[in-house]
Amino acid sequence: MDIDMKSRELIGILRGVEPQEATAIAEALIDAGVTRIEVPLNSPGPLESIARMVQAFEGQAVFGAGTVLTVEEVEAVARTGAGMIVSPNCDPAVIRATKASNMLSYPGVLTPTECFSALASGADGLKIFPASVIGTGGVAAMRAVLPPTVPVYVVGGADADN
């Protein structure tokens, strides 16, 4: 996949999106430079939404699922052609299954121990969740000890003020 270098370093979360809305929203996000887009599995018809976006915009963005908790869910998402898995927790089995399916893995972490466990299990990046618990100071402290090339995304409490 050849993603435009103007891509914004964030993951768009389409929480609650309906399958019939997914491609139009994905198109607007891609046009705005958002080239990593997830549909949480607790949304209506998430696998259909992901499959529609993959089919419509393959090669223009990385699509995947969020709120992925089990290996079976990883496998179902992989069948859509998705390219990433985002989880609210750090489950080494989910990370390994994601990597075995040739997808990017972004597990949820909150402590340095979880961060390093996720990386040791093969994670491509880290989702600090819920970020509001540790705030910007906590995120900065963890970034100071993490490898500088590891992508870190904050979710849960991130807004324009922080």
Q: Please, which pLDDT band fits residue 6 given cuts at 50, 70 and 90?
A: low
pLDDT, position 160: 77
Q: Is the peptide bond before 130 cis (omega within 30 degrees of 0)?
A: yes
Q: Is residue 160 part of a domain?
A: no
Q: Is residue 159 part of a domain?
A: no
Q: Is residue 67 part of a domain?
A: yes
Domain CATH for 92: 3.20.20.70
Q: What is the pTM assigned to this prediction?
A: 0.92
Q: Is residue 61 part of a domain?
A: yes
Q: Is residue 103 part of a domain?
A: yes
Q: Supply the DSSP string of 84-152, one letter for each residue.
A: EEE-SS--HHHHHHHHHTT-EEE-EE-SHHHHHHHHHTT-SSEEETTHHHHHHHHHHHHHHHS-TTS-E
Q: Is residue 127 part of a domain?
A: yes
Place of tokens 């998402």: 77
pLDDT in tens, 35-82: 999 999 999 999 999 999 999 999 999 999 999 999 999 999 999 999
Q: Is residue 41 part of a domain?
A: yes
| Residue span of the structural domain in which 105 resides | 12-154
38 included as an active-site residue: yes
Q: Please, which pLDDT band fits residue 5 given cuts at 50, 70 and 90?
A: very low
Q: How many whole angstroms separate alpha carbon 55 and alpha carbon 39?
A: 15
Q: How many domains does the chain fold into?
A: 1
Q: Is residue 161 part of a domain?
A: no
Q: Please, which pLDDT band fits residue 109 given cuts at 50, 70 and 90?
A: very high
Residue from 9, 21, 27, 38 carrying the catalytic annotation:
38
Residue from 6, 18, 72, 127 carrying the catalytic annotation:
127
